[in-house]
Amino acid sequence: MYKIVSKRILNNSVHMMDIEAPLIAAKAKPGQFIILRIDEEGERIPLTIAGFNREGGTVKIIFQLVGKTTMHLGALEAGDEIRDFVGPLGKASELENYKNACVIGGGLGTAIAYPQAKELHRLGAKVDIIAGFRNKDLIILEDEMKNISDNLYITTDDGSNGTKGFVTDVLKKNLETKTYDVVIAIGPLIMMKFVSKLTKDAGIKTIVSMNSVMVDGTGMCGGCRLTVGGETKFACVDGPDFDGHLVDFDEAMMRGARYKTEEEHSCRLGGYLNG
């Protein structure tokens, strides 16, 4: 069993938890993920590691209450326990040797982009963060992002805070005056697709994080497979980071919708990343 050490509500539908998992905390790196299962009847869901405390032995997760499992998880409190917590899985992000980075987060993807931005900042890169949300009530981690970035751009779809529009609008504008040696985009597939399109034309290396449907997270089921540069890859062991210019996003979106009906049946509404 894995104890929930603390819980913080970031907005109405996004919660943050620190989970006691010292062995995972000792090894975790930005870009990796865990798989958890709440109880005996539960499904295994992957969540990206949003932070870790090596001394305290805890791993931070941030999740959106969109499906049966995440709603159940959100109903748990500090002191409660989770049955299974496995990791750190996947390859760590390669963040070294960049000078000017632009980190883009969409919705809940911001929670996953944040540790990467933090690591880039720690390694001495200049970091611009563009974080997009549907409206001002959904904004998360604003102070944290401010602290580790050179420029933070917030966008909202409805203009209720920051720039009205999408992250791609800001990126496009920035590219007119700035140069980046890497763009890291994490969020809904459609966002990552359009960011990658922009940066491909501009010739900027782009890394995206693919959170596919998966069961084991160790390469065993192949459910998370996607096409990258014409080859089949497994998000769990070959990723989750991939070259955004090579990912077949249309196929990934189609695969992401695979269990929509069952999710609704199980009172789920969509993939956990569709923030």
Instruction: Kindly state whether residue 43 participates in binding another protein, applying the rule CB under 8 A.
Output: yes
Using the minimum distance from each CB to another protein, give the nearer residue, 75 or 254: 254
Question: Which amino acid is present at 213?
Answer: V
Instruction: Kindly state whether residue 54 participates in binding another protein, applying the rule CB under 8 A.
Output: no
> What is the closest distance, in whole angstroms, from the C-beta atom of residue 184 to another protein in the complex?
22
Instruction: Kindly state whether residue 262 participates in binding another protein, applying the rule CB under 8 A.
Output: yes
Contact 100, 181 (CB under 8 A): yes
Instruction: Kindly state whether residue 89 participates in binding another protein, applying the rule CB under 8 A.
Output: yes
Binding test (CB under 8 A) with another protein, winner from 216, 269, 270, 274? 216
- In order, the DSSP letters of 121-145 are HHTT-EEEEEEEESSGGG--SHHHH
Rounded Cα gap, residues 178 and 261, in angstroms: 44
Contact window for another protein (CB under 8 A) among 8-16, 105-113, 137-145, 211-219:
211-219
In sequence order, the 6+-apart residues with CB closer than 8 A to the CB of 243 are: 205, 206, 207, 208, 228, 229
3-state secondary structure of 109: helix
If binding means CB under 8 A, how many residues of this protein chain bind another protein? 41
β-sheet bridge partners, residue 275: none
Instruction: Kindly state whether residue 68 participates in binding another protein, applying the rule CB under 8 A.
Output: yes
Question: Which positions touch another protein (CB under 8 A)?
Answer: 23-24, 27, 37, 41-44, 68-69, 83-89, 215-223, 225-227, 232, 237, 251, 254-255, 257-259, 262-263, 265-266
